[in-house]
Amino acid sequence: MVETFVHSTEDVVEFLRGQHNQIRDMFDDVVHASGAAARETAFVELRQLLAVHETAEEMVVHPRARRDIDGGDIIVDARLREEHEAKEQLAALERLDVESAEFMAALVIFKATVVDHAEREESEEFDRLQHELDPAELKLMVAAVQAAQAIAPTRPHPGVESKTLNVVIGPFASMLDRARDIISAAMR
Ligand SMILES: [Fe+2]
Ligand SMILES: [Fe+2]
């Protein structure tokens, strides 16, 4: 089972790289889950982490990359387009039954979009950010990103009905809203 949190206190880039690895593992959890309830739980957890991760990038990391790295605008605009595409794929995925063949087919495509996006971030954006910013600044930025993990505090208890989970946790769009609120508060 994958840990929901990355506990690194290192810089923001290392922290986000760690989350990329976790996201890949969580896709595997959704694919390999046995039964509808387990798959739905794994899918909720994946969406929580994606909400935290992408919101942190959009609010904390991309603005700095835009400002501080050469060609930042072009690089960040491309990342935002990829993130937008991934969000649209996820919105479609959320409307499907997790037990259906359509869900699994759409999940494979969504995973490829997300993993490809993560690799581009690492190679085109993160490395340069790490090079341009000093370590103290990178460490400071990790605080806001860590704060956002509060929206995914624990793994749901075994036996929790998937219906209840959906009521409590809501769709991806509302997870994004909650992550935004927490990061805004942490950045003040
Ligand atoms: Fe991203
Ligand atoms: Fe990312």
Quote the ligand 1 centre to 83 CA distance (angstroms): 6
Task: Identify the pLDDT of residue 144.
Answer: 77
Structure tokens at 147: 């704060």
Cβ of 11: how many Cβ atoms within 10 Å? 22
Sign of dihedral through CA atoms 153, 159, 165, 168? negative
Q: What is the pTM of this model?
A: 0.84
**Residues with CB in 5 Å of ion ligand 1:** 57
How many Å apart are CA 110 and CA 108, to the nearest integer? 5
Residue of 40, 84, 39, 25 whose CA lies nearest to 58: 84
Task: Identify the pLDDT of residue 185.
Answer: 83
Task: Identify the pLDDT of residue 169.
Answer: 61
Quote the ligand 2 centre to 54 CA distance (angstroms): 6
Q: Are 120 and 85 in contact (CB under 8 A)?
A: no
**Residues with CB in 5 Å of ion ligand 2:** 118, 121
List the domain boundaries for the chain.
12-187
Instruction: pLDDT tens for the chain, 188 residues: list them.
Output: 444 455 445 789 999 999 999 999 999 999 999 999 999 999 999 999 999 899 999 999 999 999 999 999 999 999 999 999 999 999 999 999 999 999 999 999 999 999 999 999 999 999 999 999 988 888 888 887 887 776 664 444 444 444 444 334 678 888 888 888 888 888 87
Q: Are 15 and 6 in contact (CB under 8 A)?
A: yes
Quote the ligand 1 centre to 157 CA distance (angstroms): 29
Quote the ligand 1 centre to 66 CA distance (angstroms): 14
Quote the ligand 1 centre to 100 CA distance (angstroms): 28
- Counting ligands in written order, the one closest to the CA of 58 is 1
Quote the ligand 2 centre to 119 CA distance (angstroms): 8
Task: Identify the pLDDT of residue 25.
Answer: 96
